[in-house]
């Protein structure tokens, strides 16, 4: 019996029935067809192209995002994911031959990808279109049935996606489920074949615990304190501009936003001066994204009152829901500002003696989702890449390393597990099945025990 989904909370029975319905659809085999996958990806491309204005309006309603920011940060990346998957789908889905040793001959071996089945994507509020539809592109390319749970904290986007997705994508195999915490909790009670969750580490642990009950594999895209390093070999003016832009874009409410800056002593004064100038005129970036709610505004305001450093550029809440950016110089390392992810337009700057001191500072903390290095020196780059561990690294710019379908996106340690985007996303939502085939026509008796002494010597020789 078909289920009518409405933007109300689901209970556990409804969630289980929904998954059962999708399993029935998946069992027909329709989603495994490459032609079906192509149609869904083409539908996703049309959805994004034909409804950019409506999606931008919803993003403005929920978050106050400017239209061009919506295109660059929310529309263009999933569009690129779908196009890239469509272009490469045939090659990704091919069998991969495996070498067979002489002792196994005659035989052929290979691996072949197959869809995992019914997967769940739980998206956050900060990039509610991107983080619903980019994983969807990967899951569809792999041939899965999908449930997407948009964030209830972006209700306009959630409602638009719930209305548009069934128009462009197979409504029997892909469902948008609206609702809040109760709905998410109910969905996590069901057995899935894969779960991709983007959000906080606290909720990530809940998702992981729920998945463990069913031994469900998960991809967790979490956050953390992503550092930026500024060395004596950096172009200070460009570095300050790019850091200021990155920190005010989306009001700093991005999991890969630079959370703090470590600057080498010789360029500290010049960098702080340049950064203050950039942040002081940050309104020229025409950024109007609001802080998501009053609780987070209060949290950010509290961070500004107790950090033990110098407030070089004063920031704080505005009457329109936005937050004026702030620069904090040399905050207390034990303060909340330096212990918790800021997730807002506040940028602490900490002086370090040299690059090695910066690396030691980073390595004493949890592994970040992103790390940024500003330096023109190849030796600085090599040192940072070999001596630090992070989900990704951006050299001399910010965010761009997360926007290429060719590059996997994912964290490590506290910043997450698993990855997606491009071929990696296809593989995340696929199972690579191993196959070996031997003909039945050749079945000599000496291939079975008990083995003669001659056969034992031959087998040992062939196994070398």
Give per-residue pLDDT as tens, 92-140.
999 999 999 988 889 999 999 999 999 999 999 999 999 999 999 999 9
Residues ≥6 apart with Cβ < 8 Å to 117? 23, 26, 144, 145, 192, 193, 194
* Distance in angstroms (rounded) separating the CA atoms of residues 251 and 291: 7
- Token look-up 């079945």 returns 443
The pLDDT of residue 3 is 40
Question: Is the pLDDT reported for residue 7 higher than 70?
Answer: no
Per-residue pLDDT, 102: 85
CATH number of 12-222+415-433: 3.40.605.10
pLDDT of residue 241: 98
Delimit the domains of the chain by residue range.
12-222+415-433, 227-402
Looking up tokens 């969807």 gives 136
Instruction: Decide: 93 and 116 in contact? Cβ < 8 Å.
Output: no
Residue 221 catalytic?
Answer: yes
**CA 162, 10, 196, 202 torsion-angle sign:** positive
pLDDT confidence bin for 5, thresholds 50/70/90: very low
Classify burial at 377, counting beta carbons within 10 Å of its beta carbon; exposed 0-12, middle 13-18, buried 19 or more: middle
Catalytic residue among 81, 132, 255, 287: 255
The answer to whether the bond into 450 is cis (omega within 30° of 0) is yes
Given a contact cutoff of 8 angstroms between Cβ atoms, the answer to whether 147 and 169 are in contact is no
pTM, full prediction: 0.95
Q: Which residues contact 170 (CB under 8 A, 6 or more apart)?
A: 30, 31, 36, 39, 40
| Helix, coil or strand: residue 257 | coil
Per-chain mean pLDDT for the chain: 95
pLDDT on residue 462: 82
Per-residue pLDDT of 217-254, as tens digits, reads: 999 999 999 999 999 999 999 999 999 999 999 999 99
Reduced to 3 states (helix: H, G, I; strand: E, B; else coil), residue 436 is: strand
pLDDT digits (tens, 9 = 90+) for 238-294: 999 999 999 999 999 999 999 999 999 999 999 999 999 999 998 899 899 999 999
The verdict on domain 227-402 having CATH code 3.40.309.10 is yes
Q: By C-alpha distance, which of 148, 261, 194 is closest to 426? A: 194
DSSP state string for 163-220: HHHHHHS-TTTEEE----HHHHHHHHHS--SEEEEES-HHHHHHHHHHHHTTT--EEE
pLDDT at 6 over 60: no
pLDDT of 139-160, one tens digit each? 999 999 999 999 999 999 999 9
In whole angstroms, what is the distance from residue 284 CA to residue 246 CA? 13
Catalytic residue chosen out of the listed positions 74, 81, 178, 221: 221
Residues above pLDDT 90, as percent of the chain = 92
């Amino acid at each position: 019996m078909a289920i009518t989904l409405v933007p109300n909370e689901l209970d556990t029975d409804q969630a289980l029935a929904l998954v059962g319905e999708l399993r029935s659809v998946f069992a027909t085999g329709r989603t495994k067809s490459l032609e079906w996958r192509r149609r869904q990806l083409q539908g996703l491309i049309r959805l994004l192209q034909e409804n950019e204005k409506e999606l931008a309006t919803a993003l403005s309603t929920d978050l106050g995002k400017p239209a061009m920011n919506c295109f660059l940060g929310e529309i263009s990346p999933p569009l690129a994911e779908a196009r890239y998957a469509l272009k490469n789908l045939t090659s990704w889905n091919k069998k991969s031959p495996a070498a067979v040793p002489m002792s196994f001959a005659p035989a052929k071996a290979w691996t072949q990808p197959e869809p995992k089945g019914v997967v769940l994507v739980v998206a956050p509020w900060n990039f509610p279109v991107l983080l619903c539809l980019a994983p969807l592109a990967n899951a569809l390319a792999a041939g899965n049935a999908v449930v997407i749970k948009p964030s209830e904290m972006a209700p306009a986007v959630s409602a638009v996606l719930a209305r548009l997705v069934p128009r462009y994508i197979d409504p029997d195999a892909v469902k948008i489920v609206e609702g809040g915490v109760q709905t998410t909790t109910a969905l996590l009670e069901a057995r899935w074949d894969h779960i991709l969750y983007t959000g906080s580490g606290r909720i990530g642990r809940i998702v992981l615990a729920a998945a463990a009950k069913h031994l469900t594999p998960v991809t967790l895209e979490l956050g953390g304190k992503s550092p930026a390093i500024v060395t004596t070999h950096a172009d200070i003016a460009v570095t300050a501009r790019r850091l200021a832009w990155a920190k005010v874009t989306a009001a700093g409410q991005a999991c890969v936003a630079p959370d703090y800056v470590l600057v080498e002593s010789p360029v500290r004064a010049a960098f702080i001066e340049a950064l203050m100038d950039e942040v002081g005129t940050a309104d020229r970036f025409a950024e109007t994204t609001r802080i998501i709610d009053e609780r987070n505004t209060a949290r950010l305001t509290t961070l500004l009152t107790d950090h033990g450093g110098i407030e070089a550029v004063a920031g704080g809440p505005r009457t329109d829901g936005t937050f004026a950016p702030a620069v904090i110089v040399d905050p207390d390392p034990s303060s909340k500002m330096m212990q918790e992810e800021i997730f807002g337009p506040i940028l602490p700057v900490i002086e370090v003696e040299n690059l090695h001191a910066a690396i030691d500072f980073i390595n004493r903390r949890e592994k970040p989702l992103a790390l940024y290095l500003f330096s023109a020196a190849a030796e600085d780059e090599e040192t940072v890449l070999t001596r630090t561990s992070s989900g990704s690294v951006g050299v001399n710019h910010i965010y761009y390393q997360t926007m290429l379908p060719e590059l996997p996106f994912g964290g490590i340690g506290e910043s997450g597990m698993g990855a997606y985007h491009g071929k990696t996303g296809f593989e995340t939502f696929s199972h690579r099945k191993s196959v070996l085939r031997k003909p039945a026509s050749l079945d000599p008796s000496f291939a079975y025990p008990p083995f003669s002494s001659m056969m034992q010597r031959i087998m040992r020789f062939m196994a070398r």
